Every structure is written in C-alpha cells, then in structure tokens.
Amino acid sequence: MRQAILLIFLFFLFTPHIPGQKQKVSHDSISIFFDEIKIASQKNIELWNKDLYGPILLIDTKTREVFANEPDTEGTLKLNRNVYSGILPVDINIANTALNWKGKRWAMIMLPLSQNKQNRIGLLAHESFHRIQPSLGFELNNTENNHLDQKEGRIYLRLELEALKKAMRSASKKELKEHLTNALTFRKYRHSLYNGSDVSENLLELNEGMAEFTGVIVSGRNKTQTMAFLVDGINDFFKNATFVRSFAYHTVPVYGYLLYNKDKNWNKKITSKTDLTNYFIKTFNSEVATDVKEVVKRSANDYNGSEITVEETRREEKAKKLIAEYKSKFINEPHFEIKFEKMNVSFDPRNIVPIDNKGTVYPNIRVTDKWGILTVENGALMSPNWDKISISTPVRTEDKKISGDGWTLELADGYTIMKNETNGDFMLVKKEASQKK
C-alpha cells in the first residue's frame, strides 16, 4: 500500500517555482513551446541515448483547458490550429508531473510558462524525464526526509549548498576540489546524525535530482548562465519554509553539472541502486575524512556557519510553536478524518510541516478519491503512511458540498459524514455502512 501511495505522490509532485515574469496563456504560442522542447531534446539525445520529446500536456490552471502536441488514443483531444486541445476532467489533479492518461504516458506542465526560454525548456525537460524515467531503469520511489526540517539537518544542508556555491565560483581545480570535498563532508556528517537519512535523501535525489539535472543540461544555457542559474536557485531555495521535499532540485544539479564538465556520460553510469554520495566522492576524488565531525567544526565558518546556526536556532523556536498549534488542531481537538481508498494528490512541497511521528501538515493540498474531491487551503495532516488525512471539523453542509476552515469537500454519490458523539470527531463513511449502524 505504501509503495503505491508513494508512486502516486511522485506523479503529482509540484516542481518548485522558478522566479521570473510569467506569460499569459496564448494558443498561438503553444506550438512554439512544443517546437522548443522538441529541438532541444533532439540536440541532447545523447544525454540519455533516448529522445525526451514525447506526449506533452500544457494545462491552463484556471480553465483546465488542455493543449497537447499529439492526440490521445480515445479521441478526447481535438485538433485546433496544429495543437490538440480539450478540457481536463476535474478528478485529475493539475501539477508539473508525469501521468498515464487516455492511453498514453504524458508530461504535464502548468501554464503559464516562464517568459525565459531556457527556464521553460528546462521545466519541460524535467517533466519529460519523469515521463521516460521508468524506461531508463530508475524506480519511481519517494521517501520522507523530515530530518531536513530539524535544526541540525537544515544547518548542514545549508552548509553543503554554500560550499557548492563556492565550488561553482572556483578559480582553480584545487579550489574546486576543496569546496566539493567540504560540501560532501557536510553531507556525510548530516547523514551520521540521522539514521537512514542517507538512503531517504538518495531516493529523492535519484528522482527529482536527476530530473532537474536533465532540465539544466537540455535548457541550452551556456556555462556562465548555468552557474548563475544554479547559484540563484540555491539562494531562492533558502527562502523556502521547508527543505524536506525540494532539496534535491539543488544538490544533484550542481554535482551533476560539475561532473558533466568532466564526463559527459556520468549519468548513464548510475542506476536506481547507486549511492550518489559515495559516487560523487569517488568521481570527484574527494578526500572526505573519516572523522568528519572535526573537519566540520573547522570549516563551517568558511561557509557562514555562525550566521546559519543563529538563523536556524530562531527558526526552530518558531517551528515549535507552529507544530504545537497543528497538534492541537488536527490531533488533540475534534477533527475530521478521511481515509483513502484510491487517491491521487497534488501539493506544494515548499511549505509542508513534519509533525514528529504523527505525519506531515500540508498547508495547500488537493486530493481526489472514490469519495470525491478535497481541496485544502489552510492545512491538513497527512498520516505517516499516507492512508488518511485529517482536517478541521465541518462548519457548513450544502447537499454534497461540505466545507470547513479553509477546506472544501465535494462528495461523490454513496458517501456521507458521521460524528462521533463521544469525542466530537467526524469521519467519512459509505452510506450503506452508516445506514446499518
């Protein structure tokens, strides 16, 4: 069950926002976008020895209008000025992702796209990688990395990324090696603090990290532009409320790009079983010390260590208060619990809040299931094994539409809600079951 849910999560994981002005949706420009990624894919076909270009869906998030570069197998999409179009059903979540729909595996990307050509090609390449990912032998896995919401986890991730920023700005091979070695040392030390974190981080990096690396290479930026893009991306990443789901977009692309300058085929030498940390240590000839703790103490201040520690200490105090509020709202006080049957989910990974061993709060999330559609804009607690979700108690019921504090539930036929008069909790049940009671 857990593996199936994780696969669903991967399909609907949002791609982090790329700063910059957005274009308005224009039917005339859609075919240009398709041509851009087609040409870029052909130029970089040797990256994976496979053409990234294939079925693509561009979605207007306001109208749910679909623009595709080819027809579906059921004739749902109609040809209109060299572009196939239609309306995406409401039971399908909109996200930057890859999904199976109407007989094909598609790359789905939300409109509007960036006005920057390289940014939009990079995004389309990222999602196109996810489309062909299974055929490349990379398993569709994802695991929790809640340790990256802890003080020490955040500190040593930030130090690693600061070292990577300096590595990209290095003026010599010696300087480059020094910063890379320090970056990997911070990484190894972080892994030593949290049992299993090396495995869980590696799984997300093999998914989202490799996809973003692909986007960086295919985007068409020159060396100077690429370095600036990666550094700016890290700086913007530091502004995220959490690092749990989005760190891989900034670690592997940097290591990968620097390695790509040495070996254009490095990415084709790894598999879904590769330990990327050890692989990078070996291929960069980094001399990571056995006693990483002592090295970390000596080198941390070379990468703003003191400032980072102060900032993360302050953040931790604020986080404790927020977590206490969420525990009260979704655990201790009466709440509404909804169990999953066959769910799909989309959410923004940049602002989630892990709650100890109770699960994770998602401020914004949309869930579709057999029981209907749940749209949340003010927080919901996802259980640790992704089998249920908890929201605040209902305050309004209008036929099949139920709503509460920042959430709306559109019920499908055959479902209703019940209140436990003992503890005040609500639950979602099938009508047949409720009638028997």
Q: Which DSSP letter does residue 354 get?
A: E
307, 310, 316, 319: CA torsion to nearest 10: -70
Residue 351: its pLDDT value, please? 87
CA gyration radius, the chain: 23
Residue 183 has pLDDT above 90, yes or no: yes
Residue 14: its pLDDT value, please? 46
288-309 average pLDDT score = 92
| pLDDT tens digits, one per residue of 11-44 | 344 444 444 445 556 777 999 999 999 999 999 9
- Please give the model's pTM, rounded to 2 decimal places: 0.90
> Do 431 and 416 touch, CB atoms closer than 8 A?
yes
- Residue 279 Rama label (left phi>0; alpha psi -120 to 50; beta): alpha
Residue 131 has pLDDT above 50, yes or no: yes
291 pLDDT band, cuts 50/70/90, is confident
Query: Checking DSSP bridges between strand 104-111 and strand 56-60, what pairing results, if any?
Result: parallel
Q: Tell me how far apart the 2 most distant CA atoms of the chain are, in Å.
A: 75
To which H or E segment does residue 375 belong? strand 372-376
434 pLDDT band, cuts 50/70/90, is low
Contacts of residue 336, Cβ cutoff 8 Å, sequence gap at least 6: 390, 391, 392, 393, 394, 404, 417, 425, 426, 427, 428
- How many degrees, rounded to 5, is the angle at CA 253 between CA 132 and CA 2? 55
Residue 350: its pLDDT value, please? 83
Whole-number Å distance between alpha carbons of 430 and 437: 11
Residue 332: its pLDDT value, please? 96
| pLDDT tens digits, one per residue of 210-242 | 999 999 999 999 999 999 999 999 999 999 999
| pLDDT tens digits, one per residue of 312-369 | 999 999 999 999 999 999 999 999 999 999 999 999 888 899 998 899 999 999 999 9
